[in-house]
Structure 1
Amino acid sequence: MIPEIEYASKAEIKSFQVEKLKDLLLYLNTNSVFYKRLFNTHKIDITTINSLDDLTKIPTTSKDDLQQYNDDFICVPKNKIVDYVTTSGTLGDPVLFGLTDNDLDRLAYNEAISFACAGIGPDDVIQLMTTIDRRFMAGLAYFLGARKLGAGIIRVGNGIPELQWDSILKFKPTYIIAVPSFLLKLIEYAKQHNIDLNTSGIKGAICIGEPLRAQDFSLNTLSKKIKEHWNIELYSTYASTEMNTAFTECEQQQGGHQHPELIITEILDDNDQPVNEGESGELTITTLGVEGMPLLRFKTGDIVKAHHKKCDCGRNTMRLGPVIGRKKQMIKYKGTTLYPPAMHNILNDFNEVEAFVIELSHNSIGTDEILIKIAVNAPTENLLLNIKNHFRAKLRVLPKIEFSDKKEIQKLQFPKMSRKPVMVIDKRK
């Protein structure tokens, strides 16, 4: 199930993508109110876009554009939309996406080749530990992808360790799809109920929503904790509703592979110019083959690093490293630039920390402040000192850290309408 284009040379991949890009530009110029207006306003002749480098002639699209002009992005009549989803709205109002029948087929294809990338085949059974409802694209994508691949799927939904283990023991899945920190809850439940993790038949986990690796692809604290107890392969996958596409690790686990027939990627600096190879920047994407709501040069808000060296799996496609952080959540703190994932990783070092939330605000002189609220079973001054020393050693700065009630933190993490935990509350103007 691995497309030939992924093994093609870099030059062949580029020329293949240029042809797909020309088709997209024509489609947008005909069907998209937003992009037609953009081309007219900036006097862009789409026939002059003849290479991927020419993309820089076109202004980028932001989340603000999507929120402000949502309907203008939809390229099909309403009766062609068969599925409605919304973004999670982590950094603002959710955006509506309408998918056509063809878009659902494309979504299934994307997930099937992503599963195949991680070594999952038609003989496997996948247990889905994420929601498939609540206007959530990912759960539906996993279901459709497994079906397209010919693999079995068990739709358990999120949470409820008891039901997850009941399903694992009953149906014998070989792979699971889950948020990595939830795997720790499954490990804890298994220990309490004398379930042998390593004879459960699970070969691997496709992990979503939280990073598994450091920038050099070594396992981070969270992954090490999982693998200490459960001898399974952990695969990162990165996606978003706006992309309609996933970047999933292959068995080499050296970053998520791009699918060239589905997406064009750029890594841009603050001036919307491509960064030098090896530098980090904002992931900017152009979707290929999307009918309902295609996007051109859309800035995802995620800071990443691209890896271009041929992968040992044989693919020549670009790979994305772990997300360094969300651009809007960048913190300038006492002369140091920080992103919340670096703080998550430190807190994951402590088994005593049961829950946490990071609050960002501005102080009276307008500079960034950080308050980390943590819940632990038995709060002691010694533990707090330990955590603070860890922050000093790893980040060279010390944010304000305080003990808090677990229920209070969970309330902050799961506001009304939330589909996933909110780990960062940004109160900055």
Structure 2
Amino acid sequence: METLAPDAKEELQLNRIKDTIQNVYENVSFYRKKFNENNITPDDIQSLTDVQKLPFTVKKDLRANYPFGLFARPINQIRRMHASSGTSGKPTVVGFSENDLNVWAEIVARAIRACGGEPGGVLHNAYGYGLFTGGLGIHYGSERLGMATVPVSGGNTERQITLIEDFKPTVITGTPTYVLNIVDKMEKMGKDPRKTSLKYGIFGAEAWSEELRNNLEERLDIKAMDIYGLSEVMGPGVAIECKEAQDGLHIADDHFYVEVINPETLKPVPEGEEGELVFTSLTKEALPIIRYRTGDVASITREPCKCGRTSIRMSRVKGRIDDMLIIRGVNVFPSEIESVLLSIEELAPHYKLIISQDGALEKLLLKVEMDEQMYEVIGQNLEDVKVKHLSEKISRKLKSSCLVTINTQIEPPGMIPRTEGKAIRIVREKKTSSVAN
């Protein structure tokens, strides 16, 4: 399936899209109503380009139909449910039939294999378990592949290090920022992260830069691959980088149909051009999703990959549309700021961007953390002239690469809070701040 000829893949996709459209039309009143409002029936979908006739689905649709309004199967056929945290309103709920779980495990097993995992090996899973799909998604895929799976979840970093030393895994999975915390802790304990048994890392659940990949690869002596997924579409495994190329993520396009649209015009963009990723599920039974607008910015390519897989590849996610900052008329993603900061050797790979409101204006403060060696060189004196030069260097690089000027505050090592899951890079303060832009 991973090396299927493009024509055969498109035929498979079309047949599966037709089945999915029939499923939602018959079993999900939300979609049947939307189709009828747009004068669409399942018979109108006769080619892949006909998918563009279908209405989009957005996150608020899942919230509006909380909890089970978008399920295409009765609750007695549901075998698992996951949900978002619901911190910004009602959570989004996703359900899986028994067949959905089997398909998901197979997709993730393929993904882990593409990253270097092998039957008989050991996988250290530092993704969070629970309602979040990451931990269990990786877990069952790893077991399906035939790996001994360590369900350590996030947190308790010293114990994680002990298990890595004692169980000798070859693969580690987790958010890149939390695995970075594990590396930092190892070094503080006087241990050399390069001397573990680890060979491959599978990192995702947050946008991360090429510079952070290089940092993790160098300090852990591994190959680090990006994995993509989101609960509304399935969970981890929707797309994965291969260890041979590490050049774009192979979409499991026998199970997901991808489009890239201009988020303003909602029209498709040319191949290779960045836009918003849109996914339609092809094989999900319990919660099929039609043209789901992910909010993630990336591009796609059909160019051959040296690993031999023929699937469509997506670029690494640049960021989310709702995370994009507009600084004095310039659009900037946090990942672009991260790329600049991680290219400066005097800085540690930890930062926080604080946004405050002063009337109609947004004011920004970028807090960055100094590298420990730099901190020792200046004798822990943040008033040192070297620190002033470092601040000027950061400003120059941000201006050159991102075309923005951001007030920067340099912090001692360890002052930026660490997280056990997704990193909190952007903080929006409600009260007016005295921070200068």
Q: TM-score with structure 2 length normalisation?
A: 0.86
Residue in 1 that maps onto 2:225: 235
Residue in 2 that maps onto 1:217: none
Residues 199 and 362 (structure 1), Cα distance of their counterparts in 2 relative to 1, 3 Å cut: closer
Task: From 4, 7, 12, give the equivalent of 1:8.
Answer: 4
- Judge which range, 386-395 or 294-303, deviates more: 386-395
2 CA distance for matches of 1:83 and 1:209? 20
* Aligned partner of residue 227 in structure 2, secondary structure: strand
CA apart distance, 1:116: 1.6
Residue in 2 that maps onto 1:112: 109
2 CA distance for matches of 1:408 and 1:41? 54
2 CA distance for matches of 1:424 and 1:93? 22
Task: From 388, 397, 414, give the equivalent of 2:404.
Answer: 397
CA apart distance, 1:408: 8.8
Task: From 336, 339, 343, give the equivalent of 1:345.
Answer: 339
CA apart distance, 1:212: 5.2
Residue in 2 that maps onto 1:61: 57
Map 1:164-175; keep pairs closer than 5 Å: 164-175=160-171
Residue in 2 that maps onto 1:132: 129
Residue in 2 that maps onto 1:315: 309
Residues 323 and 205 (structure 1), Cα distance of their counterparts in 2 relative to 1, 3 Å cut: same
Contact kept, 8 Å, 1:7 with 1:314, in 2: the verdict is yes
Residue in 1 that maps onto 2:70: 73
Contact kept, 8 Å, 1:88 with 1:419, in 2: the verdict is no
Contact kept, 8 Å, 1:373 with 1:404, in 2: the verdict is yes
* Aligned partner of residue 331 in structure 2, secondary structure: strand
* Aligned partner of residue 248 in structure 1, secondary structure: strand
Residue in 2 that maps onto 1:266: 259
CA apart distance, 1:328: 1.5
Residue in 2 that maps onto 1:201: 197
Return the letter of the residue paired with 2:289: L
1:152 aligns with 2:148: yes
Task: From 388, 391, 397, give the equivalent of 2:395.
Answer: 388
Residue in 2 that maps onto 1:226: 216
* Aligned partner of residue 366 in structure 2, secondary structure: strand
Residues 355 and 225 (structure 1), Cα distance of their counterparts in 2 relative to 1, 3 Å cut: closer
* Aligned partner of residue 401 in structure 1, secondary structure: strand
CA apart distance, 1:194: 4.2
2 CA distance for matches of 1:108 and 1:308? 25
Return the letter of the residue paired with 1:290: K
1:358 aligns with 2:348: no
Residue in 2 that maps onto 1:423: 425
Task: Write out per-residue CA displacement over residues 307-347 of structure 1, whole angstroms, 9 at most, x where no aligned residue.
Answer: 21011111111111111111122222223221121112223
Residue in 1 that maps onto 2:433: none
Residues 45 and 210 (structure 1), Cα distance of their counterparts in 2 relative to 1, 3 Å cut: closer
Task: Write out per-residue CA displacement over residues 273-318 of structure 1, whole angstroms, 9 at most, x where no aligned residue.
Answer: 1101111110000012212211000000001011210111111111
2 CA distance for matches of 1:103 and 1:81? 9
2 CA distance for matches of 1:371 and 1:191? 29
Residue in 2 that maps onto 1:294: 288
Q: Percent identity?
A: 26
- Judge which range, 175-184 or 265-274, deviates more: 175-184
CA apart distance, 1:355: 4.2
CA apart distance, 1:101: 2.0
Residue in 2 that maps onto 1:101: 98
2 CA distance for matches of 1:281 and 1:313? 26
Task: Write out per-residue CA displacement over residues 17-63 of structure 1, whole angstroms, 9 at most, x where no aligned residue.
Answer: 00000000000011112101111111112201111111111121111
CA apart distance, 1:241: 0.7
Return the letter of the residue paired with 2:406: P
* Aligned partner of residue 298 in structure 2, secondary structure: strand
Contact kept, 8 Å, 2:280 with 2:290, in 1: the verdict is yes
Residues 128 and 141 (structure 1), Cα distance of their counterparts in 2 relative to 1, 3 Å cut: same
Return the letter of the residue paired with 1:250: C
1:179 aligns with 2:187: no
* Aligned partner of residue 158 in structure 1, secondary structure: coil
2 CA distance for matches of 1:17 and 1:177? 30
Residues 257 and 200 (structure 1), Cα distance of their counterparts in 2 relative to 1, 3 Å cut: same
1 CA distance for matches of 2:254 and 2:325? 36
CA apart distance, 1:264: 0.5
Return the letter of the residue paired with 1:209: A
Residues 357 and 194 (structure 1), Cα distance of their counterparts in 2 relative to 1, 3 Å cut: closer
Flag structure 2 segments of 5+ consecutive residues without an equivalent.
Answer: 431-437
CA apart distance, 1:361: 5.3
1:248 aligns with 2:230: no
Return the letter of the residue paired with 1:25: I
2 CA distance for matches of 1:299 and 1:91? 18
Residue in 2 that maps onto 1:123: 120
Residue in 2 that maps onto 1:331: 325
Q: How many residues are paired up?
A: 411
Contact kept, 8 Å, 2:28 with 2:72, in 1: the verdict is yes
Residue in 2 that maps onto 1:216: none
1 CA distance for matches of 2:201 and 2:171? 6
Residue in 2 that maps onto 1:85: 82
Flag structure 1 segments of 5+ consecutive residues without an equivalent.
Answer: 214-219
